[in-house]
Amino acid sequence: MKKINVFLDDYRKPPDGFVYVNTIVECLELLRTYEIGHLSLDHDLESKRENGMLLVKIMVREKLSADQITVHSANAVGGKAMYKCLKLAQSSHIYSYDTTLSLRPLPLDSYTPMMLKHYQ
């Protein structure tokens, strides 16, 4: 099965080659259905309760993974909390060590070519 790349955000446009989702429900459906190559996550979504942190907690609990996970949230506190949750789960042997984790905040309105190199 071919792996897909997924970009969760309710504001930014996805980089080329990424499936765009704007809710954690949509993201969870893809995580449960497909193999994921690169998963890029935002913290602040339209729903204040169903945010990126809730998604990460569900992913850890259900062991839903990707080859690479990037937290791209511009919310410094929320993004770091998501990243730390995933790193702690890895170091506690609860979550896959095979997953590469990155914390790379993206600006809200535009990306430079250098920023997008991480997504190629």
Query: CA–CA separation, 107 vs 70, rounded Å?
Result: 14
Given this model, what pLDDT does residue 66 score?
98
The model's pTM = 0.92
Given this model, what pLDDT does residue 19 score?
98
Question: Under DSSP, is residue 91 helix (H, G, I), strand (E, B) or coil?
Answer: helix
Tokens standing for residue 9? 């955000």
Number of domains comprising the chain: 1
Residue 112 DSSP class: -
Name residues whose C-beta falls within 8 Å of residue 76's C-beta, 6 or more positions apart in sequence: 105
- Read off φ and ψ for residue 82, nearest 5 degrees: -60, -50
Could you tell me the CATH number of the domain that includes residue 69? 3.40.50
Within 10 Å of residue 40's Cβ, how many Cβ atoms?
Answer: 25
Q: Specify whether the CB–CB gap between 13 and 20 falls below 8 A.
A: yes
The model's pLDDT over 13-64, given as tens digits with 9 standing for 90+, comes to 999 999 999 999 999 999 999 999 999 999 999 888 899 999 999 999 999 9
Q: Which structural domain, as residue segments, surrounds residue 20?
A: 4-119
Statement: residue 83 has pLDDT above 90? yes
